Amino acid sequence: MIPTQKSDSERLITPTMLVLFLVLATVPLWIARVGLYPYLGIEILIWSLYALAFNLVLGTAGLPSFGHGAYFGIGAYAFGLCQFNIVANLWICLAAAFVIAGLAGALVALFISHRRGIYYAFMTIAFGQIFWTLAIKSHKVTGGEDGLLKIARLPADLGFASFDLAGNVAFYYFVLIVFALAVIALWRLVHSPYGRVIAAIKQSETRAAHLGYNVWLYKASIFTLSAAVSGFAGGLFAMAQLAAFPDVMSLHQSGYVVMMTLVGGGLVSFWGPVVGVFLFLIARDVIGALTNAWMLYFGLLFMAVVLFRPEGVAGAITAAWQNRSLHSMRQQGGSALRLLFGGERWR
């Protein structure tokens, strides 16, 4: 036992992160050989970032948000519109995606942060639908259902050197670097004093309020931050797709990110959302190649996870890794789920 040894939650970069980043860095070398394609790698990274941002609200703060696709989509549109109308600079446009989605999130947070449970959940759905309808109906701004087309992958200009990101492999590495930085930032955020207060509010709003924390402000700020990071991921997604479409804002797609996060085990593990995105997107491609009814099988899988494995895949892996009993992990998953809809009073 070395007394000075740091626990993972105090580190800037954990061993898990290093291994993950290194493995991800080799992906373009072999992904084509296993029958997949580099674009899938990009999609997985972007959705992972989005799911991690979403899990700030669902897993960390225990707030049921079912309309998160709106912020992802707003980020994508903001990126495209900034590129067309303001300035075609990668950094400014990504910042615009972050800021505009954050502003939308802050606006929504004003209306919902004093609500809880089912009323909170449905307010997020309502706002998600409002933004989605706006995106579809504002033909002049967003291109309506056709989407905003011809978005370019702008070159990454670092001042001393400029990288062309038009190719999938170059863009993959760009997204990987951004993803790595964002993961480190989110890891620190979750384990910061601020993150601890958020976790305390998830346990009990009343208790946190009695300790003198401004619960409303914490709930509003984490939602805003989550929306902003989701929007940032959306900006990357617009670059990946070379377009921004309204369908990522639909209720269905917002539901997918909830499913990914829960199947992966976002309620008990920081890495849950990433695991879920991997499973979901690879299942989509592999099962989707065999049968066009892949949603049927994924739906059945999801039902089975909810019934038998509320701790999710990451929970099961963590349990095996740390030699903790699966049972305690499952209880942790169960109690995290329970807290989401405030089952404290449920016998």
What does the chain come to in residues?
A: 347
Residues 6+ apart with CB under 8 A from 93: 78, 79, 82, 83, 86, 87, 154, 235
Question: Is residue 266 part of the contact set for another protein (CB under 8 A)?
Answer: no
In three-state secondary structure terms, 3 is coil
Return the range that interacts with another protein (CB under 8 A); candidates 42-50, 72-80, 271-279, 334-342: 334-342
Dihedral of the alpha carbons of 193, 197, 200, 205, in degrees to the nearest 10: 170
Determine which helix (DSSP H) or strand (DSSP E) holds 157, and give its type and residue range.
Answer: strand 156-157
Query: Per residue in 317-343, is it b (16+ CB within 10 Å) or e — as a string?
Result: bbbeeeeeeeeebbebbeebbeebebe
Q: Which is nearer to another protein, 122 or 278 (CB)?
A: 122
Q: Which is nearer to another protein, 133 or 214 (CB)?
A: 133
Q: Which is nearer to another protein, 68 or 153 (CB)?
A: 68
Question: Is residue 54 part of the contact set for another protein (CB under 8 A)?
Answer: no
Q: Which is nearer to another protein, 16 or 129 (CB)?
A: 129
Question: Is residue 167 part of the contact set for another protein (CB under 8 A)?
Answer: no
Q: Single out the residue of 16, 89, 129, 331 in contact with another protein (rule: CB under 8 A).
A: 129
> Could you tell me how many residues of this chain bind another protein (CB under 8 A)?
48
In three-state secondary structure terms, 6 is coil
Q: Determine contact, residues 312/265, Cβ cutoff 8 Å.
A: yes
In three-state secondary structure terms, 163 is strand
Question: Is residue 119 part of the contact set for another protein (CB under 8 A)?
Answer: yes
Closest CA to 281 of 2, 48, 101, 3: 48
Question: Is residue 337 part of the contact set for another protein (CB under 8 A)?
Answer: yes
Question: Is residue 87 part of the contact set for another protein (CB under 8 A)?
Answer: no
Question: Is residue 194 part of the contact set for another protein (CB under 8 A)?
Answer: no
Q: Single out the residue of 54, 72, 79, 127 in contact with another protein (rule: CB under 8 A).
A: 127
Q: Which is nearer to another protein, 185 or 286 (CB)?
A: 286
Could you tell me where the DSSP H helices lie in 204-271? 205-210, 215-241, 251-264
- Say how many C-beta atoms besides its own lie within 10 A of residue 116's C-beta: 15
Q: Single out the residue of 36, 40, 152, 251 in contact with another protein (rule: CB under 8 A).
A: 251
Question: Is residue 262 part of the contact set for another protein (CB under 8 A)?
Answer: yes
Could you tell me where the DSSP H helices lie in the chain? 15-30, 38-55, 69-85, 90-112, 117-137, 139-142, 168-190, 193-203, 205-210, 215-241, 251-264, 272-290, 294-308, 312-321, 326-340
Return the range that interacts with another protein (CB under 8 A); candidates 119-127, 172-180, 226-234, 279-287: 119-127
Question: Is residue 340 part of the contact set for another protein (CB under 8 A)?
Answer: yes
Q: Going residue by residue from 282 to 311, which x/- string records binding to another protein, judged by CB under 8 A?
A: -----------x-xx-xxx-xx--xx--x-
> What is the DSSP track for 180-213?
HHHHHHHHHHHTSHHHHHHHHHHH-HHHHHHTT-
Q: Single out the residue of 154, 182, 205, 274 in contact with another protein (rule: CB under 8 A).
A: 205
Return the range that interacts with another protein (CB under 8 A); candidates 16-24, 31-39, 256-264, 314-322: 256-264
* Nearest distance from C-beta of residue 200 to another protein, angstroms: 14
Q: Which residues bind another protein (CB under 8 A)?
A: 64, 111, 114-119, 122-123, 125-127, 129-130, 133-134, 137, 205, 251-252, 255, 258-259, 262, 293, 295-296, 298-300, 302-303, 306-307, 310, 334, 337-347
